[in-house]
Structure 1
Amino acid sequence: MSIKYVMESYELLDSPSASGEAVRNALIDVGCEARTIEVRTVEGPKGHTDFVKVWFHGKKGKHGGGTAPTLGIVGRLGGVGARPEKVGLVSDADGAVAAVAVALKLGRMAKLGDVLDGDVFVSTHICPDAPTSPHDPVPFMDSPINMQIANAEEMHPDLDAVLSIDTTRGNRVVNHRGFAISPTVKEGYILRVSEDLLDIMSYVTGRMPQVFPITTQDITPYGNELYHLNSILQPCTATRAPVVGVALTAETAVPGCATGASQVSDIESTVRFVIEVGKAFGEGKLRFYDPEEFERILGLYGPMNHLQTPGKKI
């Protein structure tokens, strides 16, 4: 179970002094090697935030000369807090809470000898005083840095697939409390939902899997003045690897800047799901997409990676 690490992550980030260095120290305490952790403070147009990145080297991973695929896990958010406007951890923080909990659990597992086959890269950022912004139907959390900076910091060229975890409660199209996954997105194409991911989701939750709808607008970069559900699929604009969103959801529309809205049990299920995906993906037992079908799509319709760009100037 991961509930211990979710609670530790929650308490660690629910503070006006939450920082990347505090997360680094917590990771070292559970057994992560200091050399595998990077913390970097980045200044943006609306303030600064601490990016935290940590590698978990697998038994058959590329860092050790192996061939097992590498999974990236991104905790996507605007900020963990909206101080001084709001006191406490905001709903939008759940991407970071989940990512840090995943890292704490993987660190503990590795220390005990339970090392995954493939390499795993976990990244997120910590900002306890991020701004807010208007959004329909409820306000969003804004971010001190822009999306280009976030993608540059949170992604890595060695990733073979990416899970992007983000609070996705500020809408009326996902009417389910818990978590849901998106179809796989790769190089501008919205592909079919991975059957392997649906299986793992069912095993972890003991329920029918939940899939949230996405549109073409959602997989284009921020800044083009198109409506986006949220930033959950922004990593797909910065990589050729397949990306799947893992959305923490609610039955009602909840503002990203709402406090007291995080559901620890939902985050814990998400953490277990992500770790199980990491196990299966490194073992070569899980596919995010069908490579042969993707090649056929390219042959029939050509590339769609222009959707990964800002688009034409109008």
Structure 2
Amino acid sequence: MLIKQLIEVYDLLDSSVVTGADVVAYLKGINPDANIETYPLVGPRGKTDMVKVRIPGTDGKTKGGKVPTIGILGRLGAIGARPEMIGYVSDGDGALAALTVAAKLLDMQMKGDFLPGDVFISTHISPFSPTQPHDPVPFMNSPVDTYQINQEEVSPELDAIFSVDTTKGNRVINTRGFALSQPVKEGWILRLPEALLDIMQRTTGRLPYVFPVNMQDITPYGNDIHHLNSIMQPCTCTSAPVIGVAITAETMVPGCGTGCSHYTDVEEAARFMLEAAKAYGRGEFAFYDEAEYARIQKLYGSMKHLQTLGKE
């Protein structure tokens, strides 16, 4: 279980003065040799601190191996909506889940347990951010634009991506816990691997949940089209397959709401991603069927235009 790490990370993030440097210090306290960096990212509404953690595997690319690299991206607008709201907001759970996985992986390495492949974990830390109107409940805004975050988090080194984000302000997935999206690759919404559903069942002890992805959701922000939220935005700027890990609720909960995070839901999502990273590195499943994808491309062509802002 990841409860210890979750509580420690939450206690760190539930602060009006937390910075990326504080997160680095916490993670370095687990493993002093960890490869972690932080730096400010300035946007149109302020700034946030990027945090990146690279955890090498026994046969990963950083050691000259061939095992593919998985990315776990904690998506959010911000961890706080100060000064409008007091305290940690629901929208911060993407960062909380991703950093919990980072803390657990570093702790595992100190105890002699290493994954086969490299794991790249990234998120950003901002205790102050405005909110914005959105239907059916208000969104958290972000000090920086989504494309700026994508440029920092989504890199060619990633062969597959989990994008974890609070996804409670909707009526399309109504359950406590978390849900998965289908993989999205270069504009194509593909079939979800059965192995991931097995891992989800095994780690939660319940039947799996899959949330629907609309075509609008896999287009970039900035095109004046309604999006569920930013969970699928990494798919707009990479050729790697992206699967959303949505932390969900039965009722609509605004991202700017405080007191709305549930440790069991975030822990389950984090534990699922950890177990999936293990299985992915061992070659037990692929994020998508390469042969079928090639067949789709041959029959119907490219959908890469959905990764652009389109034409007026």
- 2:11 matched to which residue of 1? 11
State, as a whole percentage, how many aligned pairs show the same letter: 58
SS at match of 2:71: strand
Q: Secondary structure at the match of 1:218?
A: helix
Cα displacement (A) at 1:33? 2.0
* 2:143 equivalent to 1:178: no
- After superposition, residues 190-269 of structure 1 pair within 5 angstroms as 190-269=189-268
Aligned to 1:114: 113
Q: Name the SS of the counterpart of 2:96 in structure 1.
A: helix
How far apart, in 1, do the equivalents of 2:275 and 2:174 lie? 25
**Superposition pairs of residues 1-314 of structure 1, within 5 angstroms:** 1-34=1-34, 36-312=35-311, 314=312
Deviations 1:27-67 (A, max 9, x none): 00111525x11101011000000000010000000110100
CA distance in 2 between counterparts of 1:195 and 1:295 reads 19
Q: Which amino acid aligns with 2:292?
A: E
Whole-angstrom CA distance in 2 between matches of 1:45 and 1:309: 21
Q: CA-to-partner distance for each residue in 1:164-208, whole Å, 9 max, x for gaps?
A: 000000001111110000001000000011211111000000000
**Count of matched residue pairs:** 312
CA-atom RMSD, angstroms? Answer: 0.7
Unaligned 5+ segments in structure 2 are: none
TM-score, normalising length from structure 1? 0.98
Question: Using the alignment, how far apart are the partners of 1:264 and 1:190 within structure 2?
Answer: 30
Any idea what SS the aligned residue of 1:270 has?
A: helix
- 1:95-123 Cα offsets, whole Å, 9 max, x none, are 00001111100110011110100000000
List gaps (5 residues or longer) in structure 1. none
Name the CA distance, whole Å, in 1 between partners of 2:46 and 2:196. 37
Which segments of structure 1 move beyond 4 Å, counting only runs of 4 or more?
none
Mapped contact 1:32–1:107 kept (Cα < 8 A)? no
User: Partner letter of residue 20 of structure 2?
Assistant: G
CA distance in 1, matches of 2:152, 2:18: 19
Conserved? CA contact 1:192–1:289, under 8 Å = yes
- Per-residue displacement from partner, 1:243-288 (whole Å, max 9, x unpaired)? 0000000000000000000000110101110100110111111211
